[in-house]
Amino acid sequence: MPPDPAISFGALLPIGRRMELAGIDGAAAKWEHTVETALAAEALGYDSVWVYDHLHNVPEPAGEAVFESWTVLSALSQRTARVRLGHMAGNNLFRNPALVAKMAATLDVMSGGRLEWGIGAGWEEREARAHGFEFPRPAERIERLGEAVELVRALWTKPEVSFQGRHYRLERAQCDPKPLQRPHPRIWIAGRGEKRMLRLVAREADCSNFGGSPEDWGRRCKVLRNHCAELGRDYDEISRTWSHDAFLRESEAEVAAAGSRGLWGESSPRWTEENLVGTPEQVAEKVARYRAHGCRAFLLWCADYPSHETLRLFAERVIPEFR
């Protein structure tokens, strides 16, 4: 397979969201494991590291540590040197977007221009209401997200911004320092809803992000292409990316013995179909199928955390097939 310098690989870090740190004793030790994983990903050659933006555990809140995403990325900006840093994805319901613009610009400066800004509409009602955030209907959440992206981009690129939307208003707001990246950090919009969300992606995003099997992922790309055509946007301007679970072992027997590690009780066949699960050779073949549909980046949640086995096997045995 010929090398593809445009393709990139990122690792979602363990910060407690999926109970992956529960077996580590003490908050300080859990945090050190998060840092160690980021440093390991950088040393192994991953292009980027990412964090979830959530406030409690899933599938059930369990009183276990979940580290706050912006704080994590800010700290890692000082502990890493090369990897890019992003949310997959930030929850637009949690923070005023004008404040997010300031936080993101600050982080881009702190990291030497390594921020990837991932943002989504927010989807977990129980989490939002538990912490006192509004949880509007889907159409309104997506409308809010669209305004937020427009507002953040303006604050990053203009000296002063006045903004009058349905949901957000600014009056002569300023955001300084500006991000180091020009014209601004890339904007990743996460979501797979075909009618509204992918239309918003077509209008506003530099990068799309959603999961699914290679065939399902490719079908959604066709929907995105149609939205781009209707809006007059060049489809190829948008980098299409995939994120979800990965689980690698040396042998098929080891993979079968592990069974499904899906978060929501998916059967083993379904979990395997929709994720990067298998031997390194099998996973490389599936990555090639996504690549054939136009996928340009893969962001992996390693389903065996806190172990680094999947993180290492993917880096050593899969990434070189595409570099």
286 band by pLDDT with thresholds 50, 70 and 90 = very high
Query: Residue 297: inside a domain, yes or no?
Result: yes
The total of structural domains in the chain comes to: 1
Query: Residue 170: inside a domain, yes or no?
Result: yes
**The pLDDT of residue 5:** 61
**The pLDDT of residue 4:** 61
The string of pLDDT tens digits covering residues 95-148 is 999 999 999 999 999 999 999 999 999 999 999 999 999 999 999 999 999 999
Query: Residue 2: inside a domain, yes or no?
Result: no
Average pLDDT value for residue range 20-39: 97
User: Whole domain around residue 259: which residue ranges?
Assistant: 8-322
Query: Residue 31: inside a domain, yes or no?
Result: yes
> Which residue matches tokens 């090369």?
82
Tell whether the model's pLDDT for residue 47 goes beyond 70: yes
Q: What is the CATH number of the domain that holds 248?
A: 3.20.20.30
Cα separations in angstroms, 33 against 1, 14, 25, 193: 35, 8, 11, 34
Query: Residue 316: inside a domain, yes or no?
Result: yes
Query: Residue 3: inside a domain, yes or no?
Result: no
28 band by pLDDT with thresholds 50, 70 and 90 = very high
Query: Residue 161: inside a domain, yes or no?
Result: yes
Buried b (16+ CB within 10 A) or exposed e, 178-214: bbbbeebbebbbbbbbeebbbbbbbbbbbbbbbbbbb
Q: What is the pTM of this model?
A: 0.94
- Mean of per-residue pLDDT scores for the chain: 96
Interhelix angle 69-79/27-44, rounded to 10 degrees, is 50
Tell whether the model's pLDDT for residue 3 goes beyond 90: no
**The pLDDT of residue 194:** 94
Query: Residue 1: inside a domain, yes or no?
Result: no
**The pLDDT of residue 262:** 84
Average pLDDT value for residue range 48-62: 95
